[in-house]
Amino acid sequence: MNYETSRRNFLRNGAMAATAISCAGAISAAAQSYAMEGQATSIKLGLASYTFRNFTRAQMIRYMKQLNLTALNAKDVKDHLPMDPPQEATALADYAAAGIQLHALGALYFPKDEDDDVRSKFEYCKRAGVQVIVAGDPTPETLPRIEKFVKEYDIRFAIHNHGPEDKIWHSPLDVLKAVGTMDPRMGCCIDVGHCMRAGVDPVDAVHAVGEGLMPVRSIFEALVATKYKGFVDLEYEINADDPMPGVIYSFAYMRGVLAGMGYQKQA
């Protein structure tokens, strides 16, 4: 697989994350889709459940209704999506009843280079019916084992870059180097905020694979240009006990940027 092929697969097969600096939120990879007449590419906005990590599943569902969102990247935090199968089934039923669709799970962690541990995470995602795992900490040594399960389950695996403190995955470019010759379903969940903290231009990262300093419009333009088909999820990490004001502002800003680009919400 040459570099250009790897670069194109990088986003198409991964997920997307970004940070709006002014709101200190992260847009990670909704049924709320925005499209321009005559264009096949659309931008889809969703939510990372980690945003509401201090709130119950029921509370988060109410907040999502207020935000007019129906797409969720769920995590085993609080009671959002427990890994225990019966409890997971209950959570999935609650989301279905609320009209919420899960499109990814994570961040999930892979501390053991063992089949049983890796398989348990893929089974968790299979039960949820999602096609993307967002992974927080796999080591390069575990990737061949994980790739085996990606092929078996046909579930995409997106490594989340965590910035300069991360000993391995500082930026999406580090992920690209590691997965460039692997199955095309091995990719990256680009956290744009951590990109900037690591000194990598997030727009360049999108092509290689709001307000304030974050080039939200340029990021969206880059996603359109690369024909990205995944989700753009908001992960808001500050004010964990009262995130809604910042979350509302962040979505209003992103929706305003999309409107300014000529994109309209699709039914």
Q: How confident is the model at residue 140, as a pLDDT?
A: 95
Q: At how many degrees (to 10) do helices 244-260 and 216-225 cross?
A: 60
Q: Where in the sequence is the domain holding 187, given as residue range(s)? A: 3-266
CATH number for position 244: 3.20.20.150
Between 137 and 179, residue with greater pLDDT: 179
Dihedral sign computed on CA atoms, order 85, 160, 34, 61: positive
Pseudo-torsion of CA 50, 51, 52, 54, nearest 10°? 70
Quickly list H helices, 54-171.
57-67, 85-97, 115-128, 143-153
Q: What's the average model confidence in pLDDT over 40-46?
A: 79
Question: Hey, what are 248's tokens?
Answer: 């509302």
Q: How confident is the model at residue 210, as a pLDDT?
A: 42
Q: How confident is the model at residue 60, as a pLDDT?
A: 98
**What value, to the nearest 5°, has the Cα angle with vertex 66 and ends 216 and 32?**
50
Q: How confident is the model at residue 191, as a pLDDT?
A: 84
- State pLDDT tens for residues 151-204: 999 999 999 888 788 889 988 889 999 999 999 999 998 888 778 788 888 888
pLDDT band at residue 21 using 50, 70 and 90 as cut-offs: very low
pTM: 0.83
| Total count of domains within the chain | 1
Chain mean position to CA 6:
19
- Tell me the chain's radius of gyration from C-alpha atoms: 17
Name residues whose C-beta falls within 8 Å of residue 84's C-beta, 6 or more positions apart in sequence. Answer: none
